[in-house]
Chains A and B, each alone.
Chain A
Amino acid sequence: MLRGRPMAAIALRYFYLLRGSPARVVPLFAWVCIDIVLWGFMSRYLNSVAAAGFNFIPALLGAVLLWDFLIRIMQGVTMAFMEDVWSRNFLNVFASPLSVSEYLGGLVLSSIATSAVGLLVMLLLATTVFGLSFFAYGVALAQFLLTLFLFGIALGVFACAVVLRLGPAAEWFIWPIPALISPFAGVFYPLSTLPGWMRLFSHLLPPAYVFEGVRRVVSGGAVSTAALTWAASLAGIYLVLACWFFARVYRHAVRTGLIARYSAESLS
């Protein structure tokens, strides 16, 4: 059974850190603002030079906003985890009654809070300055957000497991993960643009279904409910696999003694 208070403790820890540190607060919205401004003007420019009838604001700017939402979700989990790495807090946390699932639950709560800030700022900017309306996506928006949320959490938990297994220096492996995925996810272009072998990978990525759905809605077509349900299910499967991987890495760390001597990075 998951207990609320220990999970709240992990989220509260991150809130305390944010409250006392502008260096942690500013990145919650600064980079996404830059992205929205950059792609907002890019979309306007494309609207002015492309054939009339197609609106790049919901197609391109909307996709960038959704992609940034996924990145914020993932980084929300990993940043909360990295705070324990940077402050060498593993022994205090892992020698407590906290369970693995409660710890991960606390990281997810932290991520929900921080990514909500980023999403609100992006929406405000994209709506007021560039006239993006999420209502254009209709009810499919809820499925888009759910799928990206689940996949973002899965990526975050997977990244935490990688750092737990390989040591603090492995954080440089995890920050570029979204950039590695983005060409296959078709954030900026239809999947039909990709060569066949890349499309094979795309079909394994839940965000690819979301961005195909976004383009279909914008061009006036109907979103395939079956495709979006499959995407959300796939994201759910990845989340379960990521939690399983984290638990397995954790058990390895307890068996080898790595948790207690984490700064050593490896005991071999």
Chain B
Amino acid sequence: MASANESGPAPESPTAKILAVTELCKCYGETVAVDRITFQVGRGEIVGLLGPNGAGKTSTINMILGVLAPDSGSIRIEGLDLAAHRSRALERTNFAAVYAPLPGNLTVSQNLRIFGLIYGVEDLTERIAASLEQFDLVRFRDVRCGALSSGEQTRVSLAKAMLNSPRLLLLDEPTASLDPAAARDIRAGIRESATQGGRGVLWTSHNMYEAEAVCDRVLFLFRGKILLEGGPQALLEEHGMATLEELFIAVAREPLTLEGR
């Protein structure tokens, strides 16, 4: 949440990155969770944040969402410094994560209305109707979210994440609970919205085939550091690997051999 007293113009420019993370650092006691990482997400770009469990992916996303304060470094969303203009930066952002389902004691449409109001969505009733249509949730509009299957709940979270047409979309394993057909449709929808809407997407996944298919660029995180960064194909060629999964396993098992490359 943000300080209510925020002012000053949004320093937007057509060439500015949607997300610019600079020298971001977070420690929990002696444990370094995120170690001076720097990266950007451009307009219309989907960036994969990959890495083994405990690599620092969720800590990074939490810092971009403003629910975890970095020890040092900066986060700018469409040029707005998150630390100084938190409400305005987060109005342009949204997220979906498997570990953050919407309240199960409210219906799908109630949840969307509440978060639509919080995010300041204009023409909310029409937006909700469009989101229900887009994510095939029309028949569930008056069903409590807790009564939905995990895949349906994931679609509700995605509908909420797209409700404010965010400039920056953060997705933490968004297709983990979806069947292959639904996952493919969701991937295609997000791909299309990034390309046509000029949206920047930061996507974490343990499904390397998905990352290879969807991401324009991937970042491999290991122990809080970015070990590798580049387009999926370029990285595979550079490291002589056939698939992103092989590369992932190599990063997880032998990070030191890759660190120097």
Contacts and interface: CB of A to CB of B under 8 A. Distances in A.
Interface of A: 1-3, 5-6, 8-9, 12-13, 16-17, 20-21, 83, 87-89, 91-103, 250-251, 254-257, 259-260, 267
Contacts of A21: 105
Interface of B: 1-5, 28, 58-59, 62, 65-69, 86-88, 90-91, 95, 97, 99-107, 110, 113-115, 117-120, 144, 160
A174 to B, nearest CB: 21
Contacts of A256: 28
Main secondary structure of the interface of A (DSSP, over half): helix
A97 B105 CA distance: 23
B118 A98 contact: yes
Given A92-B102, A94-B1, A99-B3, A254 B119 contact: no
Contacts of A97: 2, 86-88, 90-91, 118-120
Contacts of B1: 93-94, 96, 98-100, 102-103, 250
B87 A8 contact: no
B69 A255 contact: yes
Nearest to A15: B110
B105 A17 contact: yes
A96 B120 CA distance: 10
A160 to B, nearest CB: 13
Contact of B28 (A6, A93, A250, A267): A267
A17 B106 contact: yes
Nearest to B65: A95
Output the residue of A20, A83, A87 with the most chain B CB within 10 A: A87
A162 B49 CA distance: 36
B77 to A, nearest CB: 11
A16 B117 CA distance: 14
Given A97-B88, A99-B2, A16 B110 contact: yes
A87 B119 contact: no
Contacts of B118: 5-6, 9, 93, 96-98
Contact of A98 (B2, B68, B104): B2
Contacts of A103: 1
A9 B106 CA distance: 13
